[in-house]
Amino acid sequence: MTDTARKPDNMFLQGGLPGVFAKTAIPIIFVFLVNGMFTLVDAWFLGAFVGADALTAVTLMFPLYMMMIALSTLVSNGYSSVVARLFGAEKYGQAGTALSQSLLLSIVVCLVLIGTFLFGGNALAVMLAKGDQALGGMGYTYISILILCSPMMFALGIALDTLRCQGRMQRWQSCR
């Protein structure tokens, strides 16, 4: 898209502040509630069908998972701040450049995360399990899947922030 392209419809530029706030806050609250429910259901299934050790192993890796989410949020929220200002200034070409740069930053962060994990992840998992090799092994298996798939999480966060900054989340939700 060029800088001279037609200005897209943007729900953040229409209506009063309380309405815009509600349109932004309600989906975010809903997403957090759904994620919380996923956590509860996952914990129940692990405890009921796999066993207490598996639930313990996943719980031990929770701080690492939260660190990964924090890194993803750091990149996507920083990007969304930049791209929202560029969209507001109608600098669509620069917004495309910001998208490319945020994806590159995501790749770099994920490579560092994956490399660090491959270098010391097994030892960290065993240390978190207080030396229990079996528990550490289950935790390592769980967190390795999440860390090795982290580029998808980063890319999805950036894609969703791009849609949100363009004011297209409402249209995206109605297409499902």
Give the DSSP H/E element, type plus range, for residue 124: helix 92-128
Average confidence (pLDDT) over 133-137: 92
**pLDDT at residue 40, as a whole number:** 82
Rounded to 5°, the CA angle 166-171-174 comes to: 155
Nearest of 110, 111, 140, 138 to residue 123 by alpha carbon: 140
Computed over every residue of the chain, the mean pLDDT equals 84
DSSP class per residue in 14-83: SS-HHHHHHHHHHHHHHHHHHHHHHHHHHHHHIIIII-HHHHHHHHHTHHHHHHHHHHHHHHHHHHHHHH
Summarised one tens digit per residue, pLDDT across range 46-83 is 888 888 888 888 888 888 888 998 899 889 888 888 88
- Has this prediction a pTM greater than 0.85? no
**pLDDT at residue 140, as a whole number:** 93
CB 128 within 8 A of CB 139: yes
Tokens encoding 138? 């289950």
**pLDDT at residue 36, as a whole number:** 76
Whether residue 8 has pLDDT greater than 60: no
- Residue keyed to tokens 């949100």: 164
Summarised one tens digit per residue, pLDDT across range 14-50 is 777 888 788 777 877 887 788 778 778 888 888 888 8
